[in-house]
Structure 1
Amino acid sequence: MIHKLRRAMRRAYRPTVDLSHPARSPLGSSVVNCVVYEDGVRIPCDNDAGRALRRVRSGSGRSSRNGNSRGFVWIGLHEPTEIEFAVFAELFGLHPLAVEDAVQAHQRPKVQRYGREDGGGTLFTVLKTCRYVSREQQDAAGEVVDTGELMVFTGTDFVITVRHGRHGSLGPLREALEDRPEQLAKGPAAVLHAIADQVVDDYLAVTDAVQHDVDAVETAVFSTDARRVDAGRIYLLKRELLELKRAVGPLERPMQALATAPLPPVGPAIQPYFRDVVDHLARLNEQIGGYDALLDSILQAHLAQVTVAQNEDMRKITAWAAIVAVPTMVCGVYGMNFDHMPELRWTYGYPLVIGVMVTACVLIHRSFRRNGWL
C-alpha cells in the first residue's frame, strides 16, 4: 500500500516537459551521452534531448532503404537521481513502474514490455553486468566478481540506457556500432542486441578468469602440502560463482523470449541475433554449474585431506608416546623405595636397565616405521 501511494505521488508531482522549448528538457549530471542516428549514421546533436527527439519524430514517417525507422535517439545515463530521470520519463512516456526500477536498481534480470493500444510501447530490459577482480585489485571483502546493473528502455525511436556500478561503460560499444552503420540502421533493437551481447561476452570473460582460479585451487589442494590451502579461498570462489549464477541464470528466459516471441520493437530481422546470445547463455549456465560442482568436490577433498593429515599426526604422536612409555615405566618401577629389588645393588644393574630400555625403544620404533606410523 505504501509503495502504491509513493508511485501515485510521483505521478502527481512529476515535472512536465515542454518539447517546444529546448531549455526545458535539460540534461542532468548523470547523462553520459545523447546521440541521434539516422540510417545508422551519427548526426551532430547539441545534447538537447527534446530537440533530438523532435528531429527524429519529425522524420518518423519516412523510412530508410531497409524499411526500418529512419532515426532514433540514444541517451546514456549513469546512476540518475529520481528528479533527473523524471525529465526523461515524461519526455519519452516511460511507465512509472519501469522508471522506479531503473532509479532504485537492485533488480532481477528481466525483459518487460509496457505497451499501448496502438501497438507501440517500450521494452524494459534489466541486465546484470560483471567484472572479474584480480587478486591484486581485491579489497578487504575479497570479491572476485564485481557486479553492477544496466537497464535499457527500447522504443521505436529511442534507446535509454541506465547504468549502475563502477564498470560496464557503453562508450566502446557505441564506437564499435558506429563503425557498422548497416547494423545501427536496423534501429533501437540492434542497440539492445549489441548491449546484451557485450554483457554476455563479459560473462564469458569472467567465467574464463574464474576457471583459472578454480584450476589453481584444485592444483593446490592435490599438491604435496595441501594443508597450506586456505579453505576460505574455496568458499569465496563458491560465493562469487553464486553471484555470477544470479546474473546469468535468470537472463536465459528473457533472451529466449526476445529471440522467439513477437516483442516490438524487436523485429524478425534482429531475432536471429538474440538466438546467438541465448546459445552463449546456455553454455555459460553449464560452465558455472560445472565449476560449482567441481568446487564442492574440491572442498570435500580438502577437508578429507586435512582429516587424514590430522590422523597421521595423531598416529605419530601416539607412536612416540608408546616409545617413551617403555623407559618411563622402567624408571617408574626402579624409582620405588623398596629395600629388596632385583639388581638394585648389582654392579651391572644400571647398564643392564639402560640397555633394556634402549633395545625396547629401538624395537618399537622399527615396528612403527614398518607399519607406516613413523
Structure 2
Amino acid sequence: MPPLPSLRWSSRRYNTRADKTEKEPANLVIDCGVYVEGRRLLDQCTYQQALDEVRKRGTGFVWLGLMEPSNELMTDVAIAFGLHELAVEDAVHAHQRPKLERYDDILFLVLRTVRYHEHELNSVAEIVDTGDIMVFLGADFVITVRHGDQTGLAGVRKVLEANPSQLQLGPASVLHAVADHVVDAYVDVTQEIEDDVAEMEEAVFTPANKIVIEAIYQLKREVVELRRAVKPLALPLQLLTHDQRLPLPKEIRRYMRDVTDHHTAVTEQIMDFDESLSALINAALAKVSVQQNTDMRKISAYAAMAAVPTMIAGIYGMNFDHMPELRWTYGYGGVIALMVLLCGLLYYTFHRNNWL
C-alpha cells in the first residue's frame, strides 16, 4: 500500500463550531452509505440493503449514522448487524460513562461530547453541556449513535469522503475520525474555559472590584462536569492505541496515539482549571472577609461617635434638681461644643488608624 497522508485531518480542516446544525429529530437514520475502496456507493439505501451489498461484494463497509434511536429501531439494527444486547441497551440510553467494550469481533466505544455556551462573566447560567456518541465497529460496518446535538458528525463524514485513501483503511478509519473530532471539541471547549478562568482571576484580584462568589462556584461546577466527561476516555484511548488484541489496523493504531496525546493534554489542563478555581474561591472568600471586617470597623467607629453625644444628652436629660452647671447661662452651647469636640477627636483617631 502506498504511503497514506496524515490522518490528523479533523483538527483544523474545518471548524468544529461551524459544524453545528439544527438539532435533528430523534429516532432517525441520519445517513447510511456503502464504502468500497474509499469511494461511496449506493447513496439512497436502507441499512439492510447496504449490508447485503457489502457482503455480496466481499469488500468495503457500511457506515450507518443514527440519532437518538428508539429501542425498536436499535433492536432492528442489532438483528441486522449482530450487535450484543448489552451494547444495544447502552446505545438506547444516553449519559453513559466513556468506555470501550469488546463483544467477540465487535468493538463498542462510548464517548462523551461537550459544547460551550457563551455567557456573561458573573452569570450563573449553564456553561458546558454534554451528550454522547456511541460507535459500533465490526469487520464490515461501523455504526455511530448520537445523543444530543453537541457535536455533529456531518462534517466528519464529508471530510472522510473527500479522502478515499483514509477510508481504504476500513471502518476503523471512521472510529479514529470520530474520536479525533470529539477530542478536538474538548480542545475548543477548554480554550474557552481557559479564557473564563483568566477573566475570573482578573476580576478577583482587581482592587475594589465586586466579586460574585456564585459565578466562581458555577464555573467550578462546569469544570467538574467537563472533567467527568473527558477524563474517563483516557483508558479506552490507551487500549485502542496499545492493545494488540483489538481488531484495529496498525496504521490506525499509530494515528490514535496523536488523539491520545491531545486528550492527555486536555485532561491535564482541566485539572489545572480545577486547582485554579479552588484557589480563586479561597482568595475571593478571603477578600470578602477582609471587606466585611472593614465594614464592621466603620460601623463600630460610627457607633462610638454616636455614643458620645447620646451619653451626654442622656445625662442632662435626667430630672434631678441639683446637677452641675444646670442653670448656667451658656450650659446648652457648652454641651453642644463638648459633643462636637469629642466626636471630632474620635473621627480623627479612627481616620488616622484607617478605620474610616
Does the TM-score normalized on the shorter chain lie above 0.5? yes
Q: Deviations over 1:209-246 (max 9, x none)?
A: 112222222222222334x3222211111111111111
**Contiguous gaps of at least 5 residues in structure 1:** 1-27, 61-69, 116-120
Give the aligned partner of residue 224 of structure 2: 242
User: What residue is the counterpart of 2:150 in the other structure?
Assistant: 167
Q: Structure 2 matches for 1:17-166, cutoff 5 A? A: 30-60=28-58, 70-115=59-104, 121-135=105-119, 142-166=125-149
* 1:292 to 1:29, Cα distance in 2 relative to 1, 3 A: closer
What is the DSSP-based 3-state SS (H/G/I as helix, E as strand, rest coil) of the residue aligned with 1:75? strand
Q: C-alpha displacement at 1:188, in angstroms?
A: 0.7
Counterpart pick for 1:282 among 261, 264, 271: 264
Q: Which moved more, 1:243-252 or 1:256-265?
A: 256-265
**Which stretch has the larger CA shift, 34-43 or 257-266?**
257-266
Structure 1 position 345, deviation (Å): 1.3
Report deviation, 1:143.
1.5
The alpha-carbon deviation at position 305 of structure 1 amounts to 1.2
- The match for 2:326 is 344
Shift in Å, 1:263: 4.2
- Structure 1 segments (4+ residues) deviating >4 Å: none
Which of 178, 182, 186 is 2:165 aligned to?
182
Match of 1:268 in 2: 250
For 2:309 and 2:185, locate their aligned partners in 1 and report how far apart those are by CA, in whole Å: 68
Change (3 A) 1:96 1:173: same
- Asked if the contact 2:200–2:216 (Cα under 8 Å) also holds between the matched residues in 1, the reply is yes
Q: What is the Cα deviation at residue 182 of structure 1?
A: 0.8
Task: Check conservation: 1:35, 1:42, Cα contact below 8 A.
Answer: yes
Structure 2: distance between partners of 1:352 and 1:29: 90
Letter in 1 for 2:62: V
Deviations 1:18-52 (A, max 9, x none): xxxxxxxxxx9510000011111111333222221
Q: Contact 2:114–2:130 at 8 Å: present in 1 too?
A: yes
Distance in 2 between residues matched to 1:36 and 1:243, nearest whole Å: 37
Q: Which has the higher contact order (CA 8 A, sep 6+)?
A: 2
Distance 1:293 1:221 in 2: 15
Conservation of the 8 A alpha-carbon contact between 2:240 and 2:246: no
Change (3 A) 1:263 1:143: farther
Secondary structure of residue in 1 paired with 2:234: helix
> Identity over the aligned pairs, expressed in percent?
52
Are the equivalent residues in 1 in contact too, given 2:114–2:131 (CA < 8 A)? yes
What is the identity, as a one-letter code, of the residue corresponding to 1:151?
Answer: M
Higher deviation after alignment, 159-168 or 191-200: 159-168
User: 2 CA distance for matches of 1:263 and 1:94?
Assistant: 20
Between the aligned partners of 1:167 and 1:318, the Cα distance in structure 2 is 54
CA distance in 1 between partners of 2:245 and 2:345 (Å): 84
Q: 1:141 to 1:56 in 2, by over 3 A?
A: farther
The residue type paired with residue 87 of structure 2 is A
> 2 CA distance for matches of 1:217 and 1:141?
13
2:237–2:260 Cα contact (<8 Å) kept: yes
The answer to whether the Cα contact below 8 Å between 1:129 and 1:149 also exists between their aligned partners in 2 is: yes
Partner of 1:5: none
* Aligned partners of 1:204 and 1:284 also within 8 Å: yes
TM-score (norm 2): 0.89
Matching residue within 273, 282, 293 for 1:300: 282
Deviation of residue 255 (structure 1)?
0.2
- Give 1:291's aligned residue: 273
Answer yes or no: is the 8 Å Cα contact 2:27–2:68 preserved in 1. Answer: no
* Distance (whole Å) between structure 2 residues aligned to residue 106 and residue 186 of structure 1: 30
Gaps of 5+ in 2: 1-25
Deviations 1:242-274 (A, max 9, x none): 111111111001101100112443121111111
Aligned residues: 329
Conserved in 2, the CA contact under 8 Å of 1:149 and 1:164? yes
Aligned twin of 1:9: none
Alignment partner of 1:213 out of 182, 196, 213: 196
